Structure 1
C-alpha cells in the first residue's frame, strides 16, 4: 500500500512538503505543489482520514449512537443522518447500544478514540447518566442527555394532537397503550394524551408496555376483551409498532378497523403507510431532526437548533373514523 513516504521519495521532496500539499497549505509554491499532486495521482495515493485526523485532532467522521437498529424510527433517523452528513462531506460511524447504558459507554469511548468531528447520541431509553466526557461537539436526539443540546419533536404536544383527533371524531370510550413509565419519552407522550382528554372530561383506560409490536398485540387483546358496550371505540398508542400489533389483535378478534375500532399511532414509520388499513399517526420530522443534528456537530448550527422542540404533525389515513 502506497504511503506518504513513497510519495515524498518519488517526488524527491520531504514528507513535510507532501503533508502541507495535502493540507492545502498556501506556503507551498505552485510548481512544487503541482509536482506533488501529479505524483499523488501517479501512485494513486489515498491519505488516511484517521491519520489526518490525528494531526488536527479530528476526522471527517461523525459518530452516531442509537439504541436499536431494528426500531424503524431509529433506522430512518440513521438513513437521514448519513444522507445529510454525506452531502456535507462527512462519513458516519454507527454504534448500536441495545438500550444498555454499559454498552453505550463502551461504544462512545470507542468512537471518541477515532477522533470524530462530533457525536449524535440517542441515549438509552431510561435516561441513565452519561459517564463519559468529551470536548467535541455533541448533541442528543429524541431523549435528553446531561446538559447537551437536545433536538427532538415535542412529544407532549404530538400526543395531544392524537387525543384531539379522536375527540373531534366523537369518541368518548378511549384507551391508551403507553410505553414504559421509566422512559422520559413515554411519560411525555402519555401526559400529553391524558391531559387533553381529562380537560375534555374523559378519563381513558391506560395500560403500559414496551414500544414494540408484541406489546401492542398483547395489551390490545386485553383492552378489547371487554363486552361491546363498554370496550373502547378508539385506542391510541405510544408508537406505530404498538399500533400495528394492536391491529393484529383486532383482526384476531374479528373487529374491523376503523368500523369497530379506531387506532392512532405515533412516529409515522414507513410501514404505517403500507399496512391495511393505512395507519393514522403522529408524524415526527425525522429528516429535519437529522439535518439539524448534523449541522450542529459540524459547526453549521442551524438557526433555532436550541430554540425549542420541533412540531409533530397529525397524519390522517384510514385507521380512524367516527364511532358507529
Structure 2
C-alpha cells in the first residue's frame, strides 16, 4: 500500500501545504495542536474539500483538483476513528460493529477475528451506555475495520482517555498493526503513542511537512528536537527476546549485543521495540568497571547538537541509532567529537519494551 498526498489549502492562521507518502504499516502524523494534522486526514477521508489536492491510495485517485476527480466519502474506502467513539446509542455492540460491513463492497477480515483480537466478545449484547471509555474505543475501532476499508484513519483516538485506558488499548492497536496488515494513518501529538506504534512518522509544523521517514530515524535525529520536544528525545532499538532469566530480568539481543530489562511478558523469540530516552544514556570513553548498570553498548559518535538543555549526542550502535543527553561541561571534559568510539551505558530499569511482533 502506498498513500500519496499533496494538499494546499488556505486556513485562517496559515496555509497548509503538505506533501508526503505513507507506505504500509502505521504512519503517524505528529505535530502540535493546530499544526494542520486533522485538516490533512479530513481531506483524505473526503470530509472537507481543499483548495487544491491530489490524493491516491494504491493507484486509486481519491481527489485530483486538476482533473476534477473527487470521490465522495463512502466511495473512498477510508475507515475513520474519531477522538470520540460516536457509536449508535440505540444499537448494541454487535449491531454497531456490523453496521458498515453491510454497505461495503470490499472483502475484509471475518468479524470473529476482529472481535477476538479486540477482546470484545463479552460486550456484543451491551449498549454503548453500558461501556467504559476504553471499551467504546475498541468497539469504534472494530466498526471501522469491519467496514473493510483500504486505509484506516485514526484521529487522536486516545486523546479523550486517561492513562489507564490508554495503556489498556495500546496492546490491541499493536496487535492490529502486526496481524491484520491494514495500513493505518495515525494522528497524534502524544509522542509516547507515536514511538510505540509508528513505523513511519510525518512531522507537521505550521501546515508544512518538516520531515518524514522511518520512525527509528526520525525519533533519533536531534535536528527534530524542536518539534518532538527536547526532553522527549530518544531512540528505538529493535531486539529479539532471547531468554527469561531466573532473577526476574529478560534478555533482549540487538545488533550490538544483549540488553537486560525487567521481565517482559512475552514468549522467547519475539521481536521487541525498545524506546530508550536520551537522558537515560550515559557515556564512557573506556569500558566501565564496578558499576551497577547491566547494559553497556559499544557505539560511535555520529554528531553532536547543542541546545538549551545541553548536548544531544547521536550514536551509531552497529547500524541502529541511539541518543545520549549530556551537559555541555561533560561533552567538553570528555572531548566528545564525531567519529569517537565510546560506550553507552543504560540502566535496565530505564528501558521500556513494547511488543511489536515482526513489524520492527
Shorter-chain TM-score range: under 0.3
- Structure of greater Rg: 1
Greater percentage in strand: 2
Which structure dedicates a bigger proportion of its chain to helix?
1
Q: What is the TM-score when the length of structure 1 is the normalising length?
A: 0.26
TM-score w.r.t. structure 2 length? 0.24
